[in-house]
Amino acid sequence: MAVNITDSFSSKKFYFTFFESFDDFREKAQSAYNEVKAKEPDFFYQWDQGSISSSFVESDDRDFLNEGKFIEYVKKKDLNKSIDAFEELFATIDMGGSFKKSRLKITDDPRGIFDFGLASKGLYEVQEYFSQELADESPNEFPGQPSGIVPPDYVFKDAFDNFWYNSIIRDKKYQMKQQQKGTREIELGLPGAALEYATTTRKSYLTFEKKGGKAKMVDLFVGIGGLGNMKSTGMLARALPLFIAARYFEMAGIKTRINAVRMSSDGAGFYTADAFTIKNYGEDLDFNGLAIGIADPRFFRWNLWKYCRALMKKNHDIDENWGGGSTVYGGSTLYETANRYKNWYFEEMKKGTFNDLAINRNLMIFGGLEYPPSQFDISKDQDESDEIKKEFYRILDIVDFQFNKPEIVAKRIYDRMVVEEAKSFSSYDSYINKILSQAYSYPKKGQYATEPEEQDSLEAQYDVALTGVNNFISTLK
């Protein structure tokens, strides 16, 4: 199999935007709305005077909807179910081996990623994470650490601000207590035990140790929206693989950003992608905020459509359909539009429109469940749970190939699929070829086509990866 050339829509037009945060998107899109409305008062009739289907947008308060400042996700029970599904699925993920902890250097060079924690003022208490239950059941979980103490890199926080650790040795999850560092050593009466403090520094930027010239950063993109029959749990299920991947990568020291993207096609023959960041590099997963950005019908079935229409009218003088076109769910349309979007994004970075993050474009990954269920319940929908994990592993494997030797990655995937899951070798071989063909795919013709030099680079990277895979396969014979 060769690299996939995505030229099916080379004669079409593409319109792209990117915003650095949810607020940045809302503010600039609202400004576009105000500007267009001032020139054409009836352009937004549907939002200003048209009827509201409260069952469709979960509200009949036009002023509240138009303001668009939603504090809590519209359906708390659905969100809690999705959080439970996330935690349950995350607990089943094999955390071993794919990545070594990336080293971070603290610097005052503003080209780094700003870290608000490092920039806070005054003396502060260094924190540690302790579980008495872990101390009792697995006192040697982390050699060199006092019993019951878990290094911060292995601790994660849920949406309710509880701290947890998935045991490496035991198949069990432990709730952790956050306390000042040194507390456990004092309790145990260890020599030299003392509470630990630290002071702030003007060096408030993080730079990433580079390997092969590539910073350890990943950009994930997940689609927004759905047909009228799609419920909130189905919309959230689409994004769960990316949420799981983001937590996994952050725990491995790979800074990960999640972007929501409204990708659509229009009968007039053009494709759009309006993206905005909903989780920045190094940030925790804020499930409430993430859910509002990608799955709250008050936003995407009201404000998002309004904003996308305003941006198209202001920037390109295009009278887009009031619903913002047909949502792109997946398949070849998604991959081709994504490839052209990545090329556009790099062009904009060169112009200085966005900060130059020195990210590998192969690590800008569009994903999620291609055809999510209308609703999702992890206790009942085993097939969907399997699809969520499958998509997570697709993202993981693409990233794995970018950072690690292909022979090692090929073996890791083989062990997972053939040894552990009892899949056939042909399924393994087909899967490897498919993800590599997609990972290094590019458009040769049309708008935002890949430059010839970059095409050669992608082909060369693909050949190296495929050669490594074949080298591993040869050891099986």
Task: Using pLDDT thresholds of 50, 70 and 90, give the confidence band for residue 128.
Answer: very high
Angle at 123 between CA 120 and CA 129, to 5 degrees: 85
pTM of the model as a whole: 0.76
| Res. 227: pLDDT tops 90 | no
Indicate the residue type of 340: R
Structure tokens at 130: 């302790």
| Res. 113: pLDDT tops 70 | no
Q: What is the pLDDT of residue 372?
A: 83
- Three-class SS state of 295: helix
Higher pLDDT: 114 or 24? It is 24
d(CA 311, CA 350) in angstroms, rounded, equals: 23
Task: Using pLDDT thresholds of 50, 70 and 90, give the confidence band for residue 49.
Answer: confident
Least confident of 38-42, 43-47, 156-160, 249-253: 156-160
* Structure confidence by residue, pLDDT tens digits, 257-271: 999 999 988 766 799
* Structure confidence by residue, pLDDT tens digits, 400-428: 999 999 999 999 999 999 999 999 999 99
Burial degree of 6 (CB within 10 A; 0-12, 13-18, 19+): buried
d(CA 141, CA 57) in angstroms, rounded, equals: 49
Q: Average pLDDT in the 388-403 region?
A: 93
Least confident of 116-130, 282-296, 346-360: 116-130
| Res. 122: pLDDT tops 60 | no
433's CB contacts (< 8 A; 6+ apart) are 1
Q: What is the pLDDT of residue 335?
A: 94
Q: Average pLDDT in the 91-101 region?
A: 61
* Structure confidence by residue, pLDDT tens digits, 14-23: 999 999 999 9
Structure tokens at 128: 């540690």
